[in-house]
Amino acid sequence: MILDEAQAIKNPDSQAARAAYGLVADLRIALTGTPLENRLEELWSLAHFTNRGLLGGRRAFDDRYGRPIADGEPGAAQRLRDRLRPFLLRRLKREVAPELPPRTDAVMRIVLDERERGIYDAVRAASRAEVVALLDGGGSVLAALEALLRLRQAACHPALVPGQQAGSSSKVDALLEALENAAADGHKALVFSQWTSLLDLIEPALRAAEIPFVRLDGSTRDRGAVVDRFQSSSEGSPPVMLLSLKAGGVGLNLTAADHVFLVDPWWNPATEDQAADRAHRIGQDRPVMVYRLVAIDTVEERILALQERKRALAEAALGGGNAGAALSRQDLLDLLA
């Protein structure tokens, strides 16, 4: 039995994971580009599928590896790597596709205007109070993350905040300018957002600027036709594709694009990297630019720092790093500082 995109069973409590565990096979292989996205427990779930008992039970795994690695205990990450090494074949993109042109990542820092800043600060005050109450009341980290949703949306566009209206936003204006310049220079661009509601707000700006585009999200019925139209080299092919992060983050080859814009940063850097890799993959013959749009002095700047910690966690478990940490109560409070 072979699982492709095996991160789909990263949550051991999910129905998908439990169904996979119960299937009978003499040989099990899990293929994934993101074996660890948020927590070490995700790596345990993949190992439990392929080699049950290799990492012990969930509680034993947390005692032996999870908490020691999170606490930075010397040698803890190495113990996990040693345990996994005989069963793990890891190949980096530069090893299997050295002919790929370079990928450059950059951050576009956006200054909120006065009205946007006022809305954001009001939402931040309310969100911090809600998160503190949730955590003090024994609420889960996931529940607290949900409470931060409005704050993240306020950093992108006032119209995403309940009760607010706005024709555009500083972030959409900056995106539009970058897309106009890219299209004028003959480039094609992918624009990713987690929220279809934000894509809905970007569409009118593209129409007003007379920039042709196509869109792919969970409601798209004929994905193939949309991809073919964008990938076409014929005159009149749209220079921009709008995509939801969930629908467009995997399973697509979009090498016609050499610019990628991530409009709203996500906690999980692996998910963003998967999205960027729709363009930076075999078949691409031009350097790829990946831009993250980040509003200055907002939760988005702190998300970038959190992404680096998650990368360190993944490298500690799978590569040569020595430290990593999970998302803690203090992390959540720091995001709202």
pLDDT at 324: 35
The hierarchical CATH code for the domain 99-112+167-296 is 3.40.50.300
pTM (predicted TM-score): 0.75
pLDDT tens for each residue of the chain, 337 residues long: 999 989 999 999 999 999 999 999 999 999 988 888 778 889 999 999 999 999 999 999 999 998 888 787 888 888 888 888 888 888 877 777 788 899 999 999 999 999 999 999 998 888 888 778 877 777 666 666 766 788 899 999 999 998 888 888 999 999 999 999 999 999 999 999 999 999 999 999 999 999 999 999 988 889 899 999 999 988 889 999 999 988 877 778 899 999 999 999 887 777 788 888 899 988 899 999 999 999 999 989 888 877 777 777 677 667 643 333 344 566 666 666 5
Pairing of strands 259-262, 240-244: unpaired
- Please list the residues that pair with 288 across neighbouring strands: 103
Same fold, 2-90 and 99-112+167-296: yes
DSSP 162: T
| Of 148, 1, 89, the residue nearest 9 (C-alpha) | 1
Structural domain spans, the chain: 2-90, 99-112+167-296
Q: Spell out a b/e string for 303-319, using b for 16 or more CB atoms within 10 Å of the CB, else e.
A: beebbebbbbbbbbbbe
pLDDT at 322: 36
∠ CA 327-275-201, nearest 5°, is 95
Q: How far is CA 22 from CA 15, 97, 145, in A?
A: 11, 35, 32
Q: Give the whole-angstrom CA distance, residue 333 versus residue 337.
A: 6
CB 269 within 8 A of CB 310: yes
Q: The domain 2-90 belongs to what CATH superfamily? A: Tandem AAA-ATPase domain (3.40.50.10810)
